[in-house]
Structure 1
C-alpha cells in the first residue's frame, strides 16, 4: 500500500523527468544537464547479469553432458 508521501514523491519525480514541450527538454535535464535514465540503466544491468548467469548455466550443462558422454563411452568400450 502506498502512502501519500510515496505517491507524491513518484508524481514529482515523473513531473521532473517528463519532457516539457515548451522548453523542449525535461526540468531534470535543465538542472543536472543529463537525461534521467536510471530505471532503464538499472534494468539493462540486471538483464546483463541474468544473461551472464544463463551463459554460465548453459556452459556448465554442456560440460556435464560431455563428462557423461565420456563415462558412457568408457563403460561401453
Structure 2
C-alpha cells in the first residue's frame, strides 16, 4: 500500500499541465500492429469478422432478427 501511494505521489508531481519550455518537442505516433503469428491468429480473426457481420445485420433489423450472443472470442 505504501509503495503504491508513493508511486502515485511521484507520478502526480512529475506530470504537469504547464506548457512545455521553448524548443521542447512532443512526438505523437500511431502504433503499427505487427502480427507475429499469422497462422495461429487467422482463425480467431475470421471468427471476429464473422461475429461483427452478424451484429451489423442485427443492428440494421433488430425486430426481425434474433440478438446474437455477446460472448467474446478468445484465441
TM-score class, shorter-chain normalisation, is 0.3 to 0.5
Q: Which is higher, the Rg of structure 1 or of structure 2? A: 1
Quick check: which one's helix share is greater? Answer: 1
> Normalising by structure 1, what TM-score?
0.32
